[in-house]
Amino acid sequence: MGTRRDFLGKMSLTALSLPILYSPTSLFAACEQPYDGPMLRVAIMGLGSYGTRVAKAMVDCKRAKLVGVISGTPSKILKWQATYDIPQKNCYNYDDFDAIKDNPDIDAVYIITPNALHCEQAIRVAKAGKHVICEKPMAINAEEAERMVNACKDAKVKLLVGYRMHFEPKTVEVIRMRQAGEFGQPKFFQGQSGFVMGNPNQWRLDKELSGGGAMMDIGIYSINGARYMLGEEPIWITAQETKTDPVKFKEGIDETITFQMGFPSGAVASCLSTYAMNHLDRFYMTGEKGWVEMRPSTGYGPIKGRTHKGELLQPHITHQTLQMDGMAQLIFEDVQPLVPVDGEEGLRDMKIIDAIYKAVKTGGKVDL
């Protein structure tokens, strides 16, 4: 991971050599300026592998800071306190974190726990009056996601989903090109998202905690990618499941699903979600006037991509650093990414996941 100086240095280089792509008051441009505005003070809930990655990335943030933790493991809390200089008064466990409502030094809670816990935890955070940042998938079905959206609306707090790709420079450039008509009318998207799942005893293979299999975890990237690469919402779904290892991937845990989506313009998407194959992190989109291929397309980077105009040259910057600075800008200055990261955006993906599972079950076409 680079230092803040590297980060800002890369930003300067980008701004000098490339147009500002993000939004008129873009984070790229803003990073050029000294910053003395408000800091988004974040507590991370769930100090596991991705929580650890986010915490490390936040060290380089300019607008967001890790100030608190919520964990069920006291030894982890002590370690994080020492590493990130977190005061005791900002440390909570899963039973007592509602008391965060009386803590004026925390603005937002970033939920990075197993999927099936997100809904209840997000609603508790909202009721405590703090902004909710929640990992993908935001919930395990659309009904839960809708309850989260409503709870955050009622509490007048933001609900943001950890869609880090919406801040990633090459992805943002492709979205900008699509919006500017540089590909012409998008016609076809292909998304391949998967890896070989290792440890058979982890929560990702326990439906009670994961809500599903590869689709919840990695297939969601192809769903979300299809939507931001094509710029439309699907109106129908078909899907087929195959399972080669029913012992490892029990009932309700999908191993491999291929799915197709149709869009109002007539564009179509064909995608693969799997826990049984490696080297699958690829997006391809073709339009009437051009095309783009990204591979890798959603890993931690560097993302690589090329279009009919040549290679995408935007720099690699740690995704979670950009995401958290971008979310701080969104909360404090209402600067919106080209594609939203709010609860409604997460809800759209959950509705599609529900439809995919329904299509697998019925074998038919599901209208959205």
Catalytically active residues, by annotation? 136, 221
Q: How far is the CB of 276 from ligand NAD (least distance, A)?
A: 18
144, 168, 173, 217: which one binds ligand NAD (CB under 6 A): 217
The reply on whether position 162 binds ligand NAD by CB under 6 A is: yes
Rama region for 227: left / alpha / beta (φ>0; ψ in -120 to 50; rest): alpha
Contacting ligand NAD (CB under 6 A), which of 24, 34, 49, 156?
49
**Hey, is 127 helix, strand or coil?**
helix
Residues whose CB falls within 8 Å of the CB of residue 233, separated by 6 or more in sequence, listed in order: 227, 263, 264, 348, 368
Contact between 192 and 259 (Cβ < 8 Å): no
Do residues 107 and 158 lie in contact, with contact meaning Cβ atoms separated by under 8 Å?
A: no
Q: Select the residue interacting with ligand NAD from 62, 131, 158, 164 (CB under 6 A).
A: 164
Is 115 near ligand NAD (CB under 6 A)?
A: yes
- Give buried/exposed letters for 161-194 (b at 16+ CB in 10 A, else e): bbbbbbbbbbbbbbbbbbeeebbeebbebbbbbb
Q: How many residues sit close enough to ligand NAD to count as binding (CB under 6 A)?
A: 19
Contact string (CB under 6 A) for ligand NAD, positions 61-80, x = contact: -----------x--------
- Is 291 near ligand NAD (CB under 6 A)? no
Q: What is the spatial distance between Cα 35 and Cα 330, in angstroms, rounded to a whole number?
A: 15
Cα distances (Å, whole numbers) of residue 95 to 45, 71, 107, 110:
12, 10, 19, 17
Alpha helices per DSSP H over the chain: 4-17, 27-30, 49-58, 74-84, 118-127, 142-155, 169-179, 207-210, 214, 220-230, 319-333, 343-362
Is 168 a binding residue for ligand NAD by CB under 6 A? The answer is no
Q: Does 225 bind ligand NAD (CB under 6 A)?
A: no
CB of 50 to ligand NAD, least distance (A): 3
Q: In terms of CB distance, is 48 or 296 closer to ligand NAD?
A: 48
Contact between 337 and ligand NAD (CB under 6 A)?
no
Among 2, 48, 302, 315, binds ligand NAD (CB under 6 A): 48
- Specify the residue, 11 or 197, whose C-beta has the smaller distance to ligand NAD: 197
| Residue among 41, 124, 130, 136 that touches ligand NAD (CB under 6 A) | 136
Residue 211 binds ligand NAD, judged by CB under 6 A: no
- Applying CB under 6 A, does 113 fall inside the site for ligand NAD? yes
Is residue 50 a contact point for ligand NAD (CB under 6 A)?
yes
Name the residue among 11, 90, 68, 88 with its Cα closest to residue 325.
Answer: 11
Rounded CA gap, 336 and 314, in Å?
20
CB of 288 to ligand NAD, least distance (A): 32
Cβ nearer to ligand NAD, comparing 218 with 366:
218
Chain contacts with ligand NAD (rule: CB under 6 A): 46-51, 72, 112-115, 117, 135-136, 162, 164, 203, 209, 217
